[in-house]
Every structure is written in C-alpha cells, then in structure tokens.
Amino acid sequence: MFSQEIISQAATLIKTCAAKGIKITTAESCTGGLVAALLTEISGASAVFDGGFVTYSNELKEKLLGINAMTIAEHGAVSERVATEMAKGAVAKTGADISVAITGIAGPSGGSTQKPVGLVYIAVASRNGRIFPSPSSGEDVLPISFAKLPRFRHCKRAKRVWQSSLSAVSGLLRRLTPPRNDKADRWQAGEGERMAVEKNIFSGNRSEIRLKAVEYALNMLQVAADNYYK
C-alpha cells in the first residue's frame, strides 16, 4: 500500500523520535488507522509508538478522545476545532509527547459546497513540550502554516527541502483566533508553541486522498519532532 519513499520518511521519523526520547500517538478518522499502519511498518517503532485511535464515528470521538459534543454540533466533525481537540485528546489519553489527528472527507460521497470531497484537517499537538518557536505576542494561538514549508509535496512548492531548524520556521507563524463565546473552549495563551492545525483540499479518488493525508500528517509529525523540546 505504501511507497518505499513514504516508508523511508516514516523510518526517519521513528529514528528522530527514538534519538530524542519522544513518544508519538495518532487519532484518525477518515484515514482509518493508515498513519498507525505506516508507523508500524518500521522495525523498532514500538520504542516510540504505543498505539493510536481510530475514531470514525462522532460517538467514539467523544468517548475515546473527549471531544466536546458542542464542538461537533457547532463546527462539524470535519473542522479545524475537532481536529485540534482530537490531537489534544490523544496526548491527554495516552501520555505521548506528540500526537497527530486527521479528520476529513475522502469521498466519493459526503461532500458539500462548504466542505467538498478532499477537505482534510490535520493537527499536531504536544503534551508538555514545545514543538514550534515560542510566540512573543502572548496571543491565544499562533500556529505554523505548514503549507508554506517547501517540504510538503502536495503544495504549490513541490521541491522537498527538509527544513527543521527553528530559523526555518520562525517566519511562518500566523494568527488563528479561537471562538470568543465559549470561555471553556478557548485555548490558553502560548499554546501555539505546542500545537498547529492545517486545512487541506486534496485531489484524487478516495484512496489517493487518504494517502495524501497520511503523507502530509507524517511530514507534520516530522517537523514537530525535529523542533520538539521540553
């Protein structure tokens, strides 16, 4: 199922995490456990990956990951907010250092004008360490725009350059304002250095969309692992 290229990327991620003592976990919806399957293709993955979640239904998102039912009701299961809560829930439930969460519409059915087939939200979160440069403004959330990193093959800049230093990403911060009408659902100041979420619209058939989401998620995990520090 997986190309040798993406398996090699997974091996690099496992090696990075093992060298830094990082534990990772996954929370998947539309990809149905493909990220976890990819990670466990690598010998030695058990040193950094204890397991993950496949939460296809809203009920299991709430039960296993602690997703707020109101978040799903207000934003939908395929949304930035749900992806974020999935990533946060995964690290909270497992004690892993870094998580990746994926929720989207792989098609061919289920799409709409507002949320077309191919729409996928991917989030990464850290439990107690920083995976991105610390924001200096004190805003609620300042995640990195991963789509601007040249390492992502499905973006306009197709040349893959493995940039992992803080200087490579320090200029890529953007503001993401959380809802103001729900105090309990607001992210805490400075949390932008511990998480990020990306919106993508992938083209192709169901299998292609899912595999593109897996590769994008893998690259987000690699950036997070490269920059992780407690």
Reading the block at residue 211, the tokens are 């595999």
Sign of CA dihedral 6, 8, 13, 14: positive
Summarised one tens digit per residue, pLDDT across range 7-60 is 999 999 999 999 999 999 999 999 999 999 999 999 999 999 999 999 999 999
The CATH superfamily holding the domain 4-134+190-226 is CinA-like (3.90.950.20)
Q: For 132-181, how does the pLDDT look when each residue is reduced to its tens digit (9 = 90+)? A: 654 443 333 333 444 444 444 443 322 222 232 333 333 333 322 333 33
Q: If you average pLDDT over residues 177-195, what whole number do you get?
A: 41
Say whether 5 sits in a helix, a strand or coil.
helix
Determine the Cα angle at 213 with ends 210 and 216, to 5°: 155
What confidence score (pLDDT) does residue 176 get?
A: 29
pLDDT number for residue 136: 41
Phi, psi of 32 (to 5 degrees): 55, 35
Q: pTM to 2 decimals?
A: 0.78
Helices (H), the chain: 4-20, 34-39, 58-65, 69-75, 80-94, 166-169, 206-226
Q: What is the pLDDT of residue 140?
A: 33
List, for residues 101-112, the tens digit of each pLDDT value.
999 999 999 999
d(CA 101, CA 103): 7
Sign of CA dihedral 213, 216, 222, 224: negative
pLDDT of residue 132: 64
> Given this model, what pLDDT does residue 7 score?
97
